[in-house]
Amino acid sequence: MIAWFFYRSAAALAVLSPLAVPLIKRSRLRHQEKKADELRMQFKELMSCILTSMRAGESAENAFRGAYPEMLFLYGKNSMICSRLERIGSGMDNHVPLEDLLLNFAEESQVEEIREFSEVFAIAKRSGGNMAEILSRTISMIQSRADVENEIRIMVSARRMEQHIMDVVPFGIIVYIELTSEGYFDSLYHNAAGIAVMSVALTLYLAALALSEKILKIRV
């Protein structure tokens, strides 16, 4: 699409083909971030459920087992958190320590909050301290940060939508002008000056794309 809009040349398609790599990575990164945000919110609910059970006197293992029906009700069997709880339950049935299962969960998910919880859980489990109290403080801090991140996400959601619109506006303008004034851009194609102008325009467009991503990427 970029090769056609900016150069109208098959040769440009070959030259610009490496550009597909960062664009595909960008798309995959967005998809991964969306999944991570979804898992982060599900894990936040899981922590609340586990803490409630442990304060009621349940062991950590039983708290995780007991959390599955509630997560199933909230998110459904195909949700990421239910899938992971099933694996944790199977691991415990095979006598794998819960702390090892949680550390593995953190490593696979690459979610900071899960990593922090699993590390604190492993330390508390091995030290033999007051598990409910230690986890209560940890969960409180993690949830506070998650709440702040969610507020920021809501605040920038409108700006992110504007970013998506601006990503396609240049192409929309070109299509509109082509349809209403046929041949208007002909002087920009298939000549050295036009190629230079369009190359500058493409560079500015990609730079603006990268800058908008950086501006809207806010983490607590």
Residue 220 confidence (pLDDT):
53
Is pLDDT above 80 for 83? Answer: yes
Q: Could you tell me which residue, 16 or 84, shows the higher pLDDT?
A: 84
pLDDT at 62 over 80: yes
Q: Is the pTM of this model over 0.85?
A: no
Mean pLDDT of 126-152: 75
What token pair was written down for 35?
């999944």
pLDDT at 218: 65
The pLDDT assigned to 14 comes to 82
pLDDT at residue 142, rounded to an integer = 77
Place of tokens 């002008």: 177
Per-residue pLDDT reduced to its tens digit, 117-127: 888 888 877 77
Q: Provide CB contacts within 8 A for 46, sequence distance 6+.
A: 67, 71, 81, 85
Q: Higher model confidence: residue 152 or residue 168? A: 168
Min mean pLDDT across 46-55, 96-105, 158-167, 211-220 is at: 211-220
Mean pLDDT for 157-178 is 84
Six token digits for residue 190:
């298939």
pLDDT > 80? residue 170:
yes
Tell me the C-alpha to C-alpha distance, in Å, between residue 110 and each of 80, 93, 113: 13, 25, 9
Confidence of residue 10 (pLDDT cuts 50, 70, 90): confident
pLDDT of residue 89 exceeding 80, the answer is yes
As a whole-number percent, the residues of the chain with pLDDT over 70 amount to 97
- Please state, rounded to an integer, the average pLDDT across all residues of the chain: 83
Residue range 92-110: mean pLDDT, rounded: 88
> What per-residue confidence (pLDDT) applies to 129?
64
DSSP character string of the chain: -HHHHHH--HHHHHHHGGGHHHHHHHHHHHHHHHHHHHHHHHHHHHHHHHHHHHHTT--HHHHHHHHHHHHHHHH-TTSHHHHHHHHHHHHHHTT--HHHHHHHHHHHH--HHHHHHHHHHHHHHHHT--HHHHHHHHHHHHHHHHHHHHHHHHHHHHHHHHHHHHHHHHHHHHHHHHHHSTTTTGGGSSSHHHHHHHHHHHHHHHHHHHHHHHHH----
Q: Are 63 and 50 in contact (CB under 8 A)?
A: yes
